[in-house]
Amino acid sequence: MDKGADEMKLARELLVRVRKLRQDVMDERDRDIALWDEELEREDFLPSAENLFHYLAVRRRDLRDLQEALIPWGLSSLGRLEAKTLATLDSLVATLEDITGAEKTVFHPKIARFYEGPEILAKNTLEIFGPTESKNYTRIMATLPTEATDDQKFVDKLVENGMNIARINCSHDDEEIWTQMIERVRAAEKKFGREVKISMEMAGPKIRTSWVYTTEKNPKVAAGDSIRLDKDTTKIGNYPHCKLVVGMTVPEILADIREEEEVIIDDGTVECRVVEKDAQGLTLYIHKVNGSDTRIKSEKGINFPKSRFDLHVLPEQDKVHLAFALEHADIIGFSFMKNAQDMRMIQEEMERQVGERAKKIPILAKIETVQAVDNLASIILQGAGKNPLCVMIARGDLAVECGYVRLSELQQEIMWICEAANIPVIWATEVLANLIKRGIPTRAEITDVAEGASAECIMLNKGKYLPQGVEMVRRILEKQKYHKLKKTYMLRALGIAYSHE
């Protein structure tokens, strides 16, 4: 090794730091295992839980200067250690001990240890999302529209173009419609000889518009208008200055909202502020809408990003829908879970309904609030400790709850924590939204698919051009798989590297 005395001193200092980091990580892991031991029933999940504890311990520290210091030595700078945290630290310590000639405390880890995490993740992905025909790493989930009930050709096209999982959003339609959707998917599955999973998502305690009352004919609202969120229609004449009076699915929370609070309607389409509050409801001033004006319809989400409500994760209606899903779905999704306690209540209700079989059914945890992101590790430990588990980055509500700017950071953090726990992730909402609604994609949404290719699944929402959306995602994924796997850029030989010769 051609290094001077000063540089050797730096290497010895690095070794001290990395040895300490490794020891702290193992100590914190032992503490966390003791805390969670009783909840971790599934043997298969134990190595993943252990790696998650290692990773969380690493990520509780700011390691940026250590990373910088490792790079000149040609050593791992810890930027891709999610699925192999302790093996990476072992390898670093062992190599630094070789370089400095220090006493050996750690041996080089067996190469197989670096592949265990990715192999478990691939196995979990196959078990929950099924195989892929196209050999792409990332699966495609598509949301079935109501029209899928009587249009076999539409469903056939989705399967033919590469849909691996059909998503049924139980916030809309009913059991009769869902039954028909499932029959169509099963028919397409037979026709193309492909396995397609059915995922049914429970609505959860999502607050929505219920009725919309107005004296005008089909009015649009714009910035500067006022609207009313109200308990009932009987006082309608009292608000002549309001363009609409809107009811909501959970009117009891109105009492908890404060004046000046932000209220967001329809996934961010309408942004308002509370200007008046009384026993009947709230008067809202609209300060921004998507475009120059827009309609507010029933069944649209209402978010109060600054408030936290203690709503039960399984409203009564969901318990009924859950019984249906337990009979028909391959994956069951739950919306607006906040923490491990919510996950436990879901698991208990599933077990109450179908007994031991409940533990075999894959749960999809939709992460759509900042609170759920904060509690992600414990949601995963509780969920995967008993059930096969996948996680959805539900960006529709999450963006509204955390603000657009923070979304970019949170969607990555969710991916990293899930990778450390070998949990498959679904990159969801507004993927190729323009293509799916209008037939032409924006440039930025192509990049979004490339970014989503680091997830195990990409979800598409409803729209007229959904089959084209599925095909476009599949084709972008086919290109992307040569260049990037999770966080790692793959060095396929580049055509443009020859151009100057």
Ligand X SMILES: Nc1ncnc2c1ncn2[C@@H]1O[C@H](COP(=O)(O)OP(=O)(O)OP(=O)(O)O)[C@@H](O)[C@H]1O
- Residue 299's Cβ-side half-sphere holds a number of Cα atoms within 13 Å equal to 6
Q: Give the number of residues in contact with ligand CC(=O)C(=O)O, rule: CB under 6 A.
A: 9
- Whole-angstrom CA distances from 453 to 129, 156, 447, 476, 489 are 15, 24, 10, 9, 12
In the bound state with ligand CC(=O)C(=O)O, the residue whose beta carbon lies nearer, of 201 and 330, is 201
Among ligand X, ligand CC(=O)C(=O)O, none, what does residue 395 contact (CB within 5–8 Å per kind)? ligand CC(=O)C(=O)O
For ligand CC(=O)C(=O)O, the binding residue among 262, 271, 330, 368 (CB under 6 A) is 368
Q: Which of 327, 361, 331 is nearest to 456 (CA)?
A: 331
Give, as ranges, the residues between 418 and 457 that touch ligand CC(=O)C(=O)O (CB under 6 A): 428-429
Question: Could you tell me which stretch among 37-45, 102-110, 353-361, 390-398 binds ligand CC(=O)C(=O)O (CB under 6 A)?
Answer: 390-398
Contact 196, 185 (CB under 8 A): yes
Among ligand X, ligand CC(=O)C(=O)O, none, what does residue 368 contact (CB within 5–8 Å per kind)? ligand CC(=O)C(=O)O
Whole-number Å distance between alpha carbons of 120 and 270: 43
Helix (H) or strand (E) holding 248: strand 245-248
Among ligand X, ligand CC(=O)C(=O)O, none, what does residue 172 contact (CB within 5–8 Å per kind)? ligand X
Is residue 193 left, alpha or beta, with left meaning phi > 0 and alpha meaning psi from -120 to 50? left
For ligand X, the binding residue among 146, 238, 290, 488 (CB under 6 A) is 146
Token pair 């869902």 in the structure block, residue: 178
Contact 459, 428 (CB under 8 A): yes
Q: What angle do CA 283, 287, 288 make, to 5 degrees?
A: 125
Q: Which of 475, 480, 469 is nearest to 141 (CA)?
A: 469
Among ligand X, ligand CC(=O)C(=O)O, none, what does residue 349 contact (CB within 5–8 Å per kind)? none
Give, as ranges, the residues between 154 and 173 that touch ligand X (CB under 6 A): 169, 171-173
In the bound state with ligand X, the residue whose beta carbon lies nearer, of 289 and 384, is 289
- Whole-angstrom CA distances from 146 to 185, 362, 463 are 13, 25, 11
Whole-number Å distance between alpha carbons of 21 and 32: 16
Q: Shortest gap between Cβ of 346 and ligand CC(=O)C(=O)O (angstroms)?
A: 16
Site track 312-351 with ligand CC(=O)C(=O)O (rule: CB under 6 A), x = hit: -----------------------x----------------
Among ligand X, ligand CC(=O)C(=O)O, none, what does residue 84 contact (CB within 5–8 Å per kind)? none
Contacts of 25 by beta carbon, 8 Å cutoff, 6+ apart: 54, 57, 58, 85, 86, 89
DSSP 8-state class, residue 484: E
Query: Helices 113-129 and 404-420 meet at what angle, rounded to 10?
Result: 110
SS3 488: strand
Q: Which two tokens stand for residue 97?
A: 């001990």
Among ligand X, ligand CC(=O)C(=O)O, none, what does residue 146 contact (CB within 5–8 Å per kind)? ligand X
Question: Could you tell me which stretch among 10-18, 126-134, 394-402, 445-453 binds ligand CC(=O)C(=O)O (CB under 6 A)?
Answer: 394-402
- Residue 276's Cβ-side half-sphere holds a number of Cα atoms within 13 Å equal to 13
For ligand X, the binding residue among 91, 143, 209, 468 (CB under 6 A) is 143
Q: Shortest gap between Cβ of 430 and ligand X (angstroms)?
A: 9
Q: In what order do the strands lie in the sheet with 281-289?
A: 209-213, 245-248, 226-230, 281-289, 270-278, 262-265, 302-303
Token pair 């004449």 in the structure block, residue: 237
Site track 377-416 with ligand X (rule: CB under 6 A), x = hit: -------------------x--------------------
For ligand CC(=O)C(=O)O, the binding residue among 396, 424, 452, 467 (CB under 6 A) is 396
Q: What does the H/E/C string look like for 125-148?
A: HHHHHCCCCCCCCCEEEEECCHHH
Q: Give the number of residues in contact with ligand X, rule: CB under 6 A.
A: 13
Give, as ranges, the residues between 274 and 333 that touch ligand X (CB under 6 A): 299-301
Q: Shortest gap between Cβ of 269 and ligand X (angstroms)?
A: 9
In the bound state with ligand CC(=O)C(=O)O, the residue whose beta carbon lies nearer, of 188 and 394, is 394
Among ligand CC(=O)C(=O)O, ligand X, none, what does residue 143 contact (CB within 5–8 Å per kind)? ligand X
Q: What is the largest CA-CA distance in the chain?
A: 86
Q: Tell me if 254 contacts ligand CC(=O)C(=O)O by CB under 6 A.
A: no
Q: Shortest gap between Cβ of 261 and ligand X (angstroms)?
A: 21
Which residue has the closest beta carbon to ligand CC(=O)C(=O)O? 396
Residues that bind ligand X (CB under 6 A): 143, 146, 169, 171-173, 299-301, 396, 429, 461-462
Residues that bind ligand CC(=O)C(=O)O (CB under 6 A): 335, 366, 368, 394-397, 428-429
